[in-house]
Structure 1
Amino acid sequence: MRKISVFFVILFSFTVGVFATKVLTVYTYSSFIAGVGKQVAPVFEKLYDCKINFVSIDSGSLVARLILERSHPEADVVVGLSQSQLPQVFKENLLEGYKPTDIASVVNTSFLIDPQYRAIPFDYGALAIDYNLKTVKNPPQTFEALLDPQYAHSLVIEDPRTSTTGLDFLLWTIGLYGNNWQTYWRKLTPTIKTVTGGWDSAFQMIEDGEARMMVSFATDEAYNYYYYKGSDIGVTIPNGEAYVMVEYAGIVRGTKEYDLSKDFINFMLSKDFQMAIPLNQWMYPVTDVPLPDVFIDHAPKITKTVSVSIDQISTSLSKWIAEWSSIIIK
């Protein structure tokens, strides 16, 4: 009886192992999960007979989590890294290189910043200043105009230490002002109402009428028109020079689901995934898929951009954040 019992235990264990559903663990931020993730996950799961386990982590904390788990990685794929986080990601050797089969479909080749293909772009958007149409009658058209006393205690910004949006806003000013960016931030201090930990809480403040302006994205007007047929929120891009934020995904080094992770990275550049981005992420796809009418009619056209090189970020980011903290965090 014991031999038979052992035989059946082994047989049962083997059978369960053979037919167990594969699980892909993806670290990303909450709005990705609730938006495009919710739309595309069932498609991927059906295609590859698997389950996706999304784990919500603030975008500004993704790298720290990967470093913490480096010796025993829990994630297979990370989604939502910005170009400002990549120097640390590369330095810490956190991602596996993989060149997607459809990498040539990425329209803007400047987004392909890693020759080892450890970070793959999947969407992008331009930063902007959102403002309340009822309380801001003359929105600032330049960064210098933001210093005007009429905007005192009006602007909500995100903390660059915890938010990629906040970090990219800091980089926007560095791209514009160069070595004089600290002087600008000292002058900007009276305009700042508060510093939030992330984009979600800042957007909630402007939606609730608690703030007149916030750092956000150029597609917010399109978002509000799509859902509310118009709203009390307008968008302005100071100086007419946008800072473009690119979001990346990558395969976590040490994953036990490497092949499935490659499938997911390929899937992110597929037509199904890319077409789901605009109305779920409110960002732009990186491949040449049609844009919805609301983007064409209600999102500002970006003709001029400002940037900070990945080499500059790699060399100076820690110093910049420390200097920013000394100016803003009292």
Structure 2
Amino acid sequence: MRSIRVYGAALAAALLTASAGCSLVGDDGGGEAPASDRVVLVTHDSFGLPKPLERRFEEESGYDLVVRGSGDAGTLTNKLVLTQDDPLGDVAFGVDNTFASRALDAGVFTPYDADLPAGAEQYRLPGDDDHELTPVDDASVCVNVDDTWFADHDLAPPTTLDDLVDPAYRDLFVTPGAATSSPGMAFLLATIAAYGDGWQDWWARLMDNGAKLVDGWSQAYEVDFTQGGGSGVRPIVLSYDSSPAFTVSGGRSSTSALLDTCFRQVEYAGVLAGAQNPDGARALVDFLLTPEVQAALPESMYVFPVDSSVELPQEWARFAEQPTDPYQVDPAQVDEHRDEWLREWSDVTSR
């Protein structure tokens, strides 16, 4: 799940840094420390905290921190499930609420009831009675619009999912696909929550109204969206609730997130069952909840902290408004029906 900078450039740089694969923070070239002296974090490729914070963890905990990138949230979850008997590390971060039930059912994690900061209890994973997963951040996937484009064309922008199938917005919407993108999957879940058994009909109408499907968020936002920095021609795009904080010029944002279209995503950390260093894993989970890390999340990983007492960056506080009632689907339902829903979605969108 990751948002934007006019934003694309900064995001691309962050992803290049994070996706370098395996990195050992504090490595002096002499090889990895013994298992008891290091903690191995398995995470998605978008993970990236400021280096001073990573060094602070090492200094305060006494452990070397090894960060191992493992693809996006879906790929990460699949790898954790496949390696459950021989875990890739000690702790995992980045499994979200659309994949979490699969990991819990496979026995990937072991219980750890971390002390949550103010406001974080609301982000607990439903059904995780043993507290195997600890909420660390959240961000909602939302339809975004180019306010400048709509003002220039004397057309009121859409505000709801129903509006997207209105002929007034024909050929204006671009979204990453559910089968190839985490935000695309979240958007599919939003429509399932909104329309129940009628979601396929809504998608058929959306495609008939000229919606464009692309592989991923970068293609949708940075190439096809009119505010993405390129030569895009579509002023409606699937992105995040935080996105308007990154299209600010002259004290105003040129984009808006449609808060009635959002699906909430929460990312979790958990101690891996069979970890070689469970004490280090628990220490890292606790560290991710500290005020310093929580405050760094918006500008380092483009997500909201779960700690409600943390002060947001100025432009986030002004322009990154969160939905009060985002769409949600029970994680157990997602786990049970994900493959079925994706097959049906593929059938509808390929007609």
**CA distance, structure 2, for counterparts of residue 300 and residue 254 of structure 1:** 40
TM-score, length-normalised on structure 2? 0.78
Query: In the TM superposition, what is the alpha-carbon distance from 1:97 to its structure 2 partner?
Result: 1.5
3-state secondary structure, aligned to 1:124: strand
Equivalence for 1:209? 231
3-state secondary structure, aligned to 2:139: strand
Query: In the TM superposition, what is the alpha-carbon distance from 1:235 to its structure 2 partner?
Result: 2.0
Equivalence for 1:259? 279
Match among 304, 311, 314 for residue 325 of structure 2? 304
Q: Write out the 4+ residue segments of structure 1 that deviate beyond 4 Å after TM superposition.
A: 16-21, 228-233
Q: C-alpha root-mean-square deviation of aligned residues, in Å?
A: 2.7
Equivalence for 1:26? 41
Counterparts in 2 of 1:303 and 1:112: CA distance versus 1, 3 Å: closer
Equivalence for 2:25? none
TM-score, length-normalised on structure 1? 0.83
Equivalence for 2:349? 328
Match among 57, 61, 66 for residue 52 of structure 1? 66
Higher fraction of helix: 1
8 Å contact kept, 1:185–1:327: yes
Counterparts in 2 of 1:20 and 1:67: CA distance versus 1, 3 Å: closer
Larger Rg: 1 or 2?
A: 1
**CA distance, structure 1, for counterparts of residue 197 and residue 67 of structure 2:** 44
**CA distance, structure 1, for counterparts of residue 323 and residue 167 of structure 2:** 28
3-state secondary structure, aligned to 2:246: helix
8 Å contact kept, 1:22–1:51: no
Structure 1 spans left out of the alignment, 5+ residues: 1-15
Query: In the TM superposition, what is the alpha-carbon distance from 1:303 to its structure 2 partner?
Result: 2.8
8 Å contact kept, 2:253–2:319: no
Q: How many residues align?
A: 307
Query: In the TM superposition, what is the alpha-carbon distance from 1:257 to its structure 2 partner?
Result: 1.9
Counterparts in 2 of 1:178 and 1:19: CA distance versus 1, 3 Å: closer
Q: Could you tell me which amino acid in structure 2 is paired with residue 209 of structure 1?
A: S
Equivalence for 2:16? none
Counterparts in 2 of 1:80 and 1:231: CA distance versus 1, 3 Å: farther
Query: In the TM superposition, what is the alpha-carbon distance from 1:273 to its structure 2 partner?
Result: 0.9
**CA distance, structure 2, for counterparts of residue 158 and residue 83 of structure 1:** 19
Query: In the TM superposition, what is the alpha-carbon distance from 1:133 to its structure 2 partner?
Result: 4.0
Equivalence for 1:317? 338
Structure 2 spans left out of the alignment, 5+ residues: 1-30
Equivalence for 1:291? 312
**CA distance, structure 2, for counterparts of residue 37 and residue 60 of structure 1:** 24
8 Å contact kept, 1:83–1:245: yes
3-state secondary structure, aligned to 2:119: coil
**CA distance, structure 2, for counterparts of residue 94 and residue 124 of structure 1:** 22
**CA distance, structure 1, for counterparts of residue 270 and residue 144 of structure 2:** 31
Equivalence for 2:181? 163
**CA distance, structure 2, for counterparts of residue 46 and residue 73 of structure 1:** 25
Matches within 5 A, 1:92-241: 92-100=106-114, 102-103=115-116, 105-113=117-125, 114-137=128-151, 138-189=156-207, 190-196=209-215, 198-205=216-223, 206=225, 207=228, 208-210=230-232, 211-225=234-248, 233-237=254-258, 240=260
3-state secondary structure, aligned to 1:323: helix
Cα deviation per residue 1:266-296 (whole Å; 9 max; x = unaligned)? 1111111111112222322111222222222
Cα deviation per residue 1:43-101 (whole Å; 9 max; x = unaligned)? 2122223133232412221111222323322232221121111111111111122111x
Counterparts in 2 of 1:305 and 1:220: CA distance versus 1, 3 Å: same
8 Å contact kept, 1:45–1:52: no
